[in-house]
């Protein structure tokens, strides 16, 4: 697969999820179900569907005397005790809002008709935060809009528990070619069915449109049929482990050599599917991010900054919060990726320029509680991006 050429007009097109986000702060890293506390540590930093949540928490649920029958996972998660604070979210909607702040963006996704009151707020936020175009979104009868439980830990990390709702009801709503013709890039993620992503990626390939894949929303391997259509695969370090089986952390921190091993395996698997040129963009939390270009190989001599050829690293920006710590990390990855795609493919910035822009946007997003309300304006990103880029204390190096 040849590297796609960025266009200089049109819009970023996001096909993906729209969620009602229900926030709960967890001082003890626990949710309660029927008054029974359950530790959420095994899903820290993850965005997972209800079935995967129950699977990963199985040991803790057993210890708490709780059980969930197969097929009843969504109803089980719905039993989490409140109170909750409602906000707008969904990986697709968040990424669209972020992209629209930098460039222009259209979102195609599904609302559920039984969530009519919540939908009004979601649409208002999409209009407010970037002016996202939503005219091709559908409202489906008899189902709710997708829901995400945002479990916020004391250190501002989170776990996100997904209930599918209308995000998984696409039988007659798959995007048509008319939506693709004016797209500078297509953004996909895994909070919608694989068949929707595959259908849309094929259309993008027919239009020579870059396809950017956020692998969040599932802990399953990437759909092998989708692999040949991807221009860039963009996991965080935990998601990179999901899709490759290679551990990327040691002693609690991501390590450069382990990330490279995982990326090498991912690129090898993509190459076996006829796509040796796919790029990989890995976000690393407090260690910034790394980009592995279409010609990258794990074999080479490291140069400046310890980087191999066709490898880029971007650090992070100091936060403007009173204690220099994040307020809420929810949506920060969506903000980073939406901002990166808008800068790279919409504005035709270089990889390094787009990474810096996205890092600045992501740093602003963690200063505000909520997902979509935290998407910074273009003016805010410009100011932050003019500041010095910082790097970690060496924990990332082996």
Q: pLDDT (tens digit, 9 = 90+) per residue, 129-184?
A: 889 999 999 999 999 999 999 998 988 888 999 999 999 998 776 787 888 989 99
Among residues of the chain, what percentage have pLDDT more than 90? 76
Burial class (CB in 10 A: 0-12, 13-18, 19+), 58: middle
Q: Is 219 left (phi over 0), alpha (psi -120 to 50) or beta?
A: alpha
Average confidence (pLDDT) over 299-303: 89
Question: Looking at residue 248, what is its pLDDT?
Answer: 94
| Residue 4 pLDDT greater than 80, yes or no | no
Q: Is the pLDDT of residue 1 over 60?
A: no
What one-character DSSP code corresponds to residue 255? -
Residues recorded for the chain: 398
3 band by pLDDT with thresholds 50, 70 and 90? very low
153 touches 42 (CB < 8 A)? no
Q: Which residue has the tokens 């759909």?
A: 223
Q: Before 83, cis peptide (omega within 30)? A: yes
Q: What is the pLDDT of residues 316-342, one digit of tens each?
A: 999 999 999 999 888 999 999 999 999
pLDDT single digits (tens) 62-72: 999 999 999 99
The distance in angstroms from the start CA to the end CA of the chain is 33
Helix, strand, coil % over all residues of the chain, rounded to 5: 35, 20, 40
The interaxial angle of helices 237-244 and 256-272, nearest 10 deg, is: 50
**In the chain, what are the domain boundaries?**
11-18+89-139+169-385
Average confidence (pLDDT) over 282-306: 92
Return the pLDDT at 253. 84
H/E stretch holding 158: strand 158-163
Q: What is the pLDDT of residue 220?
A: 87
Q: Is the pLDDT of residue 122 over 90?
A: yes
List beta partners, residue 26: 153
Q: Please provide the CATH number assigned to the domain covering 11-18+89-139+169-385.
A: 3.40.1190.20
Radius of gyration of the CA atoms of the chain, in A: 20
Whole-number percent of the chain with pLDDT over 70: 97
Say if residue 384's pLDDT is above 60.
yes
According to the model, what pLDDT value does residue 192 have? 94
């Amino acid at each position: 697969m040849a590297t796609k050429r960025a266009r200089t007009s049109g819009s970023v097109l996001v096909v993906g999820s729209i969620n009602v986000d229900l926030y709960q702060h967890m001082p003890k890293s626990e949710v309660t179900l029927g008054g029974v506390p359950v530790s959420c540590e095994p899903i820290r930093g993850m965005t997972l569907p209800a079935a995967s949540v129950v699977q990963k928490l199985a040991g803790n649920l057993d210890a708490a005397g709780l059980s969930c029958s197969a097929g009843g996972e969504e109803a089980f998660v719905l039993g989490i005790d409140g109170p909750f604070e409602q906000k707008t979210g969904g990986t697709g909607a968040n990424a669209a809002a972020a992209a629209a702040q930098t460039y222009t963006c259209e979102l195609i996704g599904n609302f559920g008709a039984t969530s009519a009151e919540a939908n009004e707020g979601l649409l208002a936020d999409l209009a407010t935060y970037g002016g996202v175009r939503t005219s091709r979104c559908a409202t489906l009868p008899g189902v709710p809009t997708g829901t995400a439980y945002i479990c916020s830990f004391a250190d501002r990390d989170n776990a996100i528990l997904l209930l599918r709702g209308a995000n998984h009801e696409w039988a007659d709503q798959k995007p048509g070619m008319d939506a693709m013709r004016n797209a500078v890039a297509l953004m996909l993620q895994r909070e919608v069915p694989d068949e929707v992503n595959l259908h849309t990626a094929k259309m993008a390939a027919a239009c020579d449109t870059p396809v950017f894949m956020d692998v969040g929303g599932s802990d399953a391997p990437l759909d092998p049929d989708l692999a040949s259509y991807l221009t860039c695969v963009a996991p965080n370090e935990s998601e990179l482990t999901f899709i490759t089986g290679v551990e990327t952390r040691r002693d609690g921190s991501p390590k450069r050599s382990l990330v490279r091993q995982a990326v090498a395996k991912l690129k090898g698997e993509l190459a076996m599917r006829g796509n040796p040129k796919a790029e990989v963009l890995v976000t690393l939390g407090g260690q910034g991010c790394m980009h592995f270009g279409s010609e990258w190989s794990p074999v080479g001599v490291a140069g400046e900054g310890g980087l191999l050829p066709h490898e880029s690293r971007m650090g992070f920006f100091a936060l403007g919060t009173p204690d220099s710590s994040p307020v809420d990390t929810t949506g920060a990855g969506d903000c980073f990726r939406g901002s990166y795609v808008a800068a790279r493919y919409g504005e035709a910035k270089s990889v390094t320029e787009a990474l810096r822009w996205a890092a600045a946007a992501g740093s602003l997003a963690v200063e505000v509680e909520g997902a979509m309300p935290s998407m910074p304006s273009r003016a805010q990103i410009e100011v932050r991006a003019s500041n010095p880029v910082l790097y970690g204390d060496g924990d990332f190096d082996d």
